[in-house]
């Protein structure tokens, strides 16, 4: 657990003030862009494309003038961008800070293109259309050119509360590895805002990583190690502002979606058998499903106000 605590300490150091947080993001983007441009893309990026397209087909059709909202678009706007390779729509790409990496985007798309049609990957998709769009994106010099080509709008809002987005604007709201980073105290408000900007009948597609992110730095730490800490212990020793995770579990997420008017229509994800995890007494009320859940994939539908 030494690396676990050293990493937590380093991240808390970068969280101490605004200049330190800005430095962390600059260093991370510089090193991350070089790494993502020159290395193999993680396999789960391919999985996300396959999964999103399957959901899109099951619950569509969506029209060319429909708007989708991608939350927390990160380095390459992966969810909206890869759907747009095969389907027509408009999109708003929403984030709390600018982490965009054009070299990484191009590298990821090249790797995706090489997988087209292999082993049944994306079977039935229009690869000719996708290859044409990828070739166009390969030739751009800025993200703004990508947005003009695809009908996207990029929006950075440090508050993270979507105040500048119109109500009832979106047919689809999608996110991957984002909701676990929303501050726990503002999560209910964020969910209310997400419902407000969604049209009645709108689809929500969300992947939530409920594992302990610090455990990725230390193989001796369990994937739900954070459940061994009380709230006070976690805040003192491990919580930080540059890689913040809210520790919200499956049952709480399902309840919040339901409370703001979303009906669950699909659930999936991964879990791990953790018989030796000695969780803190403050978490004793959690179900085994909550304790063992590492990733939560939800497809939800926005109900009318009367539902």
> What pLDDT does residue 307 have?
45
> Per-residue confidence of the chain (307 residues) as pLDDT tens digits?
999 999 999 999 999 999 999 999 988 888 888 888 888 999 999 999 999 999 999 998 899 999 999 999 999 999 999 999 999 999 999 999 999 999 999 999 999 999 999 999 999 999 999 999 999 999 999 999 999 999 999 999 998 999 889 999 999 999 999 999 999 999 999 999 999 999 999 999 999 999 999 999 999 999 999 999 999 999 999 999 999 999 999 999 999 999 999 999 999 999 999 988 999 999 989 999 999 999 999 999 999 754 4
| Predicted TM-score (pTM) of this structure | 0.95
Q: Which CATH code, of 2.40.30.10, 3.40.50.150, 3.40.1190.20, 3.30.360.10, is assigned to 40-210+248-302?
A: 3.40.50.150
> What pLDDT does residue 275 have?
87
> What are the structure tokens assigned to 93, written together?
């790409």
Q: Treating both helix axes as pointing N-terminal to C-terminal, what angle do 143-150 and 127-138 enclose, rounded to 10 degrees?
A: 150
Domain boundaries, the chain: 40-210+248-302
What are the backbone angles phi and psi of residue 62, rounded to the nearest 5°?
-115, 150
> Under a CB-based contact definition with an 8 Å cutoff, are residues 172 and 205 in contact?
yes
Q: What is the DSSP string of 89-136?
A: -EEEEEESS----HHHHHHHHHHHHHHTTGGGTTTTS-HHHHHHHHHH
> What pLDDT does residue 305 have?
58
Q: Is 122 left (phi over 0), alpha (psi -120 to 50) or beta?
A: left
DSSP state of 263: E
Alpha helices by DSSP H, 15-90: 18-38, 43-59, 78-84
> What pLDDT does residue 199 have?
97
> What pLDDT does residue 37 have?
85
């Amino acid at each position: 657990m030494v690396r676990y605590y050293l990493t937590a300490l380093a991240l808390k150091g970068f969280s101490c003030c605004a200049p330190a947080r800005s430095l962390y993001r600059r260093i991370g983007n510089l090193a991350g862009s070089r790494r993502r441009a020159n290395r193999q893309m993680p396999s789960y990026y391919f999985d996300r494309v396959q999964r999103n397209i399957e959901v899109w087909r099951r619950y569509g059709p969506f029209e060319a003038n429909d708007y989708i909202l991608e939350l927390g678009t990160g380095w390459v706007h992966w969810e909206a961008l890869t759907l747009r390779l095969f389907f027509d729509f408009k999109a708003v790409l929403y984030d709390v800070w600018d982490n965009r990496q054009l070299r990484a985007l191009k590298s990821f798309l090249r790797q995706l293109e090489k997988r087209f049609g292999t082993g049944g990957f994306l079977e039935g998709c229009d690869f000719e259309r996708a290859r044409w769009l990828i070739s166009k994106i390969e030739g751009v010099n800025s993200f703004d050119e990508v947005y003009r080509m695809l009908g996207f709008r990029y929006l950075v809002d440090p508050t993270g509360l979507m105040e500048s987005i119109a109500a009832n604007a979106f047919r689809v709201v999608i996110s991957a590895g984002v909701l676990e980073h929303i501050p726990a105290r503002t999560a209910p408000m964020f969910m209310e805002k997400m419902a407000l900007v969604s049209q009645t009948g709108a689809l929500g597609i969300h992947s939530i990583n409920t594992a302990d992110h610090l455990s990725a730095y230390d193989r001796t730490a369990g994937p739900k190690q954070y459940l061994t800490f009380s709230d006070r212990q976690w805040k003192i020793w491990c919580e930080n502002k540059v890689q913040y995770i809210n520790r919200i579990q499956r049952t709480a997420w399902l309840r919040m979606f339901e409370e703001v008017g979303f009906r669950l229509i699909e659930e999936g994800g991964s879990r791990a058998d953790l018989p030796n995890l000695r969780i803190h007494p403050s978490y004793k009320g959690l179900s085994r499903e909550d304790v063992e859940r590492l990733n939560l994939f939800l497809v939800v539908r926005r109900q009318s106000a009367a539902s």
